[in-house]
Amino acid sequence: MYKIAVDGPAGAGKSTISKMVAKEIGFIYVDTGAFFRTIALGCIKGNVDISNEEAVNEAIKTFDISFAYENGEQQVYLNKENVSSLIRTAEVSSAASVVSAYKAVRQKVNVSEYEISEKENVVMDGRDIGTTVFPDASVKIYLTASSYIRAVRRLRDYEKKGIKASIEEVEKEIIERDERDMHREISPLTRAEDAVFLDSSDLTVDEVVSKMVTIIKSKIEL
Ligand code: DC
């Protein structure tokens, strides 16, 4: 099975791009951030203190996380409830960044990542896919953009959902998340040595998709 690893910071466009690329090459798109978000949501719902690693470790033993595809879209379930839209809030984003630093949380997510990759050709996005989860991935791409551009994109997503925020606020949130994701002890976000670097700041979505498909086709036979 082929594994395409797409890593990069929050708001670089990984999910939008990876989803389109996966469709174009006929692979399954796996959004691994959604698993961390689901764990974060479970903690919030259960009033678990997310700064307490022990408490989070205990709580996740009771979380049954599963996923499925509906009309080509990945859906995540927490104890059989579809939480796919509930995990897209700013509160869950920042809680996901906190709990994703814990070893037991990462191990739980790794199980889902390995399971799906054994059955399907995947385009998987995250922070540590090319470095830790699949160091043997067929293709590795590090997708990034400036923090300002990423904040502008996030703000647009928020506006579509009717969430009010300022650009300063959103950029600050993104920089804080980068700090945590890049400097945690386990599986920090770094560019794998053999990853192709792609900066999407000055490119349209279609341009990034086309560049990525070209990179993939240069590395594997589709
Ligand atoms: O990609 P995202 O914004 O949905 O990710 C939410 C958080 O989960 C992010 O701050 C870092 C964490 N994450 C991670 O540590 N490893 C991954 N493979 C994916 C996400």
In the structure encoding, which two tokens stand for residue 139, read together? 């293709």
Give the pLDDT confidence score for residue 200 in this predicted structure. Answer: 95
Alpha-carbon distance of 40 to 160, in angstroms, equals 23
| Low-confidence residues in the chain, pLDDT < 70 | none
The CB of 106 under 6 Å from ligand 1? The reply is: no
Classify the phi-psi angles of 162: left when phi > 0, otherwise alpha if psi is within -120 to 50, otherwise beta. Answer: left
Percent of the chain residues past pLDDT 90, beyond the cut: 92
CB-CB contact of 34 with 67 (8 Å): yes
To test ligand 1's pocket by mutation, which of 127, 133, 180 has the most ligand atoms within 8 angstroms of CB? Answer: 127
User: Does the predicted TM-score (pTM) go above 0.75?
Assistant: yes
The CB of 177 under 6 Å from ligand 1? The reply is: yes
Give the pLDDT confidence score for residue 71 in this predicted structure. Answer: 85
Give the contacts of 62 (CB within 8 A, at least 6 positions apart).
46, 79
Atom of ligand 1 nearest to the CA of 181: 11
In the structure encoding, which two tokens stand for residue 67, read together? 């996923």
Give the pLDDT confidence score for residue 161 in this predicted structure. Answer: 86
Compute CA 157 distance to the chain's CA centroid, rounded to the nearest angstrom: 16
